[in-house]
């Protein structure tokens, strides 16, 4: 891994962002995390903050609470800026449509400007959602996608597509050295309980003995990547000379109904599967073609679903245990169309 001296991570207190911060600090970087804590949380970076207090990571981590759409109140120098800030769970971004568009547009502009001022490399966390409901399967980076520009999901999908366009414009103008990663569905410890995403919902429902809510008939597919693999892929791209975009995800495809059954088996839960209406424009299938990541980055995922599920369930068992001090468990988290659970911006 390249040794990055000082790195700014927007959204660094979120699910993927906090694991990236762990990896960067662990590799010796100083990390300045900027997060408005609307979907991220202080507890995700508690170990990094405590280690700082105890001198463990030598003061190499700091958390600045700010909404990057309004500006990024940090001082350089930075040699890399990683832009992850955004709601990523469908119920959350559907409940915060304007904030999601703002962070994808103004937030990305601010992060690119910061990178430009510092001469830092810029990495954009883009998404498989740029492919929409894909007509090409598995999805290659050369596929332009099938997004409904006026559908409810467009606030996220189009914001990310705009972020890619903006980043490439900066790159082509020679203002910033850009890397674009398209992140596919990712799971693992710190995926907020009941944040609306499928594995978070199913795991918490199974462990709590509640019905498992499958949307539609469950025949839609996803391909789930364990967070350690995702972070390794993102960092391999950051370290490389590849602008991208590059898909980083696990190509092991599974239907949502199969996933529900796997979670029930892995937990030994007595929960029953119940079927709920499918959200509007829910993609029918999704699977990354990762030939580019394999060839150009030498990256491929290592953790299969069985192992990743075990590790993730261990995390949920711990934080759901009675008396857990994590403070992460909100009994009534968001469902599709519910109001968002995060703090207002």
For ligand UDP, the binding residue among 7, 159, 214, 235 (CB under 6 A) is: 214
Residue 186, interface with ligand UDP (CB under 6 A)?
no
Question: For residue 340, which of 112, 32, 104, 94 has the smallest C-alpha distance?
Answer: 94
Distance, CA of 194 to CA of 203 (rounded, Å):
9
Residue 57, interface with ligand UDP (CB under 6 A)?
no
Distance, CA of 46 to CA of 30 (rounded, Å):
16
Distance, CA of 95 to CA of 99 (rounded, Å):
9
Catalytic-residue membership of 156: yes
For ligand UDP, the binding residue among 19, 121, 161, 197 (CB under 6 A) is: 197
Residue 133, interface with ligand UDP (CB under 6 A)?
no
Residue 297 neighbours by CB distance under 10 Å:
22
For ligand UDP, the binding residue among 31, 198, 207, 264 (CB under 6 A) is: 198
Taking CA atoms, 46 is separated from 72, 231, 312, 339, in Å, by 22, 19, 19, 27
For ligand UDP, the binding residue among 12, 222, 250, 312 (CB under 6 A) is: 222
Closer residue to ligand UDP in complex, CB, 19/194: 194
Closer residue to ligand UDP in complex, CB, 56/279: 279
Residue 207, interface with ligand UDP (CB under 6 A)?
no
- For every residue of 70-116, DSSP letters joined together read G--------SEEEE--S--SHHHHHHSHHHHHHIIIIIHHHHHHHHH
Q: Which is the catalytic residue, given 93, 131, 156, 316?
A: 156
Residue 193, interface with ligand UDP (CB under 6 A)?
no
Residue 201, interface with ligand UDP (CB under 6 A)?
yes
For ligand UDP, the binding residue among 105, 208, 213, 255 (CB under 6 A) is: 213
Residue 159, interface with ligand UDP (CB under 6 A)?
no
Residue 96, interface with ligand UDP (CB under 6 A)?
no
User: Are the C-beta atoms of 92 and 39 separated by less than 8 Å?
Assistant: yes
Distance, CA of 298 to CA of 236 (rounded, Å):
8
Catalytic residues: 156
- By the criterion CB under 6 A, which residues form the site for ligand UDP? 90, 185, 196-198, 201, 213-215, 220, 222, 256, 278-279, 282
């Amino acid at each position: 891994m390249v040794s990055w001296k000082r790195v700014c991570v927007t959204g660094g207190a979120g699910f993927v962002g906090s694991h990236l911060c762990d990896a960067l600090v662990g590799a010796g970087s100083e990390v300045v995390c900027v997060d408005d804590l609307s979907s991220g949380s202080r507890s995700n970076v508690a170990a990094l903050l405590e280690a700082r207090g105890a001198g463990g990571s030598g003061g190499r981590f700091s958390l600045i609470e700010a909404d990057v759409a309004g500006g990024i109140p940090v001082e350089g120098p930075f040699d890399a800026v990683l832009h992850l800030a955004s709601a990523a769970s469908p119920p959350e971004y559907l409940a915060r449509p304007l904030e999601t568009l703002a962070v994808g547009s103004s937030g990305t502009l601010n992060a690119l400007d910061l990178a430009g001022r510092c001469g830092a490399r810029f990495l954009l966390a883009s998404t498989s959602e740029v492919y929409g409901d894909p007509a090409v399967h598995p999805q290659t980076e050369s596929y332009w996608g099938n997004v409904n520009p006026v559908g409810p999901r467009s606030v996220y999908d189009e914001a990310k597509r705009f972020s890619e366009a903006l980043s490439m414009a900066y790159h082509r103008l020679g203002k910033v050295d850009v890397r674009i990663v398209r992140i596919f569905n990712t799971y693992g410890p710190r995926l907020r309980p009941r944040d609306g995403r499928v594995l978070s919902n199913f795991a918490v429902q199974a462990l709590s003995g509640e019905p498992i809510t499958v949307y539609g008939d469950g025949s839609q597919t996803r391909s789930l990547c364990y967070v350690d693999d995702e972070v390794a892929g993102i960092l391999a791209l950051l370290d490389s000379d590849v602008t991208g975009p590059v898909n980083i995800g696990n190509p092991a495809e599974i239907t949502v109904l199969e996933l529900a059954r796997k979670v029930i088996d892995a937990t030994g839960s007595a929960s029953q599967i119940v079927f709920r209406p499918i959200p509007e424009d829910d993609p029918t299938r999704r699977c990354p073609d990762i030939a580019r990541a394999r060839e150009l980055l030498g990256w491929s995922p290592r953790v299969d679903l069985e192992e990743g599920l075990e590790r993730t369930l261990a995390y949920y068992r711990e934080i759901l245990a009675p008396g857990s001090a994590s403070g992460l468990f909100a009994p009534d988290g968001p469902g599709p169309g519910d109001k968002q659970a995060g703090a207002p911006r």
